[in-house]
Amino acid sequence: MKYFSIAIDGPAGSGKSTVARILAKRLRFIYLDSGAMYRAIAWRIINEKIDMKDSTVFRNLVQSTQFEIVSDGLLVNGEKIDEALRTPEVSRFASEIAKYPVVREILVKKQQELAKGHHVIMDGRDIGTVVLPDADIKIFLTASIDERAQRRYLELTQKGLKVDLQQLRDEIRERDENDQNRAISPLRQAEDAIRIDTTGRSIDEIVEQILSICCTKMGGDE
Ligand code: DC
């Protein structure tokens, strides 16, 4: 049986997770938020006060972190820890640890394993270039930095968190720089990806646009 895969890449706040989640429901594909896996590693390092200079301990922590896709998200070592993964501290640190070859090497393998034997939508930074280079559909989402900061601001304030818009903008810029300039698997558009600028456009519009690309590519069977 042929399994379809859709890779959605883009910078922080480009709307990829929201769009990917809706698309997965509509298409009945599994959804893997690869960023949550980098966040989970960062969260464990902080929580368990791991000494990253000890390469054996560091490698073991990454290797021993188990991920499972469930209908409403991702389990990390059997637990749902979504909220804990969304704090500004974890966001910043996830972008830092994502530079380490050992982290990328192990997480990429885990992502490929999770995708096997399923119709899958995966979002991240290197899905179309590294994790699923043969994905049937590759989308690269972008949006202006102001709009991305504004979206994060709304998302966090709606959860009751106190945040400063300018600070969020600076943090996003810093993360963009980290993600685009790291030596291994930097954020970049795959040559065969379709670029969609989401600035000023609604989530529904983007979802419909991608669904129509899917219908064409997959022979119209949603
Ligand atoms: O998508 P996100 O903001 O939840 O991702 C958190 C961090 O993880 C991001 O700053 C970079 C890293 N990341 C990555 O390097 N490669 C991926 N495929 C996904 C995320």
Q: Which atom of ligand 1 is nearest to the CA of 111?
A: 18
Count of domains for the chain:
1
Query: At residue 219, does pLDDT exceed 90?
Result: no
Query: At residue 221, does pLDDT exceed 80?
Result: no
Distance from residue 124's CA to the centre of ligand 1 (Å): 6
Nearest protein CA to atom 16 of ligand 1, as residue: 125
60 Cβ contact partners less than 8 Å away, ≥ 6 residues apart: none
pLDDT at residue 31, as a whole number: 97
Rounded Cα–Cα distance for residues 128 and 140 (Å): 9
**Tens digit of each residue's pLDDT (9 = 90 or more) over 54-102:** 999 999 999 999 999 998 899 999 999 999 998 889 998 999 999 999 9
Distance from residue 2's CA to the centre of ligand 1 (Å): 28
Q: Which atom of ligand 1 is nearest to the CA of 175?
A: 10
Overall average pLDDT of the 139-167 stretch: 93
How far is CA 36 from each of CA 27, 85, 94, 95, 101, rounded to the nearest angstrom?
21, 7, 9, 11, 18
In whole numbers, what is the pLDDT of the chain averaged over residues?
94
Rounded Cα–Cα distance for residues 185 and 180 (Å): 9
Q: Is 118 left (phi over 0), alpha (psi -120 to 50) or beta?
A: beta
Distance from residue 126's CA to the centre of ligand 1 (Å): 9
Rounded Cα–Cα distance for residues 22 and 16 (Å): 10
Distance from residue 91's CA to the centre of ligand 1 (Å): 8
By residue range, what is the domain housing residue 82? 5-218
How far is CA 20 from each of CA 29, 57, 96, 141, 147, rounded to the nearest angstrom?
10, 34, 24, 11, 19
**Tens digit of each residue's pLDDT (9 = 90 or more) over 19-37:** 999 999 999 999 999 999 9
Distance from residue 57's CA to the centre of ligand 1 (Å): 22
pLDDT at residue 220, as a whole number: 52
Distance from residue 125's CA to the centre of ligand 1 (Å): 6
Rounded Cα–Cα distance for residues 84 and 159 (Å): 13
Q: Which atom of ligand 1 is nearest to the CA of 182?
A: 15
Q: Which of 13-17, 104-108, 111-115, 119-123 has the lowest mean pLDDT?
A: 13-17
Residues with CB under 6 A from ligand 1: 12, 34-35, 38-39, 94-95, 98, 124-127, 175, 179
Please report, for the domain that includes residue 72, its CATH number.
3.40.50.300
Overall average pLDDT of the 156-185 stretch: 90
Which position has the higher pLDDT, 88 or 6? Answer: 6
**Secondary structure in 3-state letters for 64-81:** HCCEEEECCEEEECCECC
| Residue corresponding to tokens 């998200």 | 73
Query: At residue 222, does pLDDT exceed 50?
Result: no
pLDDT at residue 185, as a whole number: 87
The pick from 95, 97, 168 for probing ligand 1's pocket by mutation, whose C-beta has the most ligand atoms within 8 angstroms, reads 95
Q: Which percentage of the chain shows pLDDT scores above 90?
A: 83
The secondary structure of the chain as a DSSP string is -PPPEEEEE--TTSSHHHHHHHHHHHHT-EEEEHHHHHHHHHHHHHHTT--TTSHHHHHHHHHH--EEEETTEEEETTB--TGGGGSHHHHHHHHHHTT-HHHHHHHHHHHHHHHTTS-EEEEESSIIIII-TT-SEEEEEE--HHHHHHHHHHHHHHTT----HHHHHHHHHHHHHHHHH-SSS-S---TTPEEEE-TT--HHHHHHHHHHHHHHHTTT--
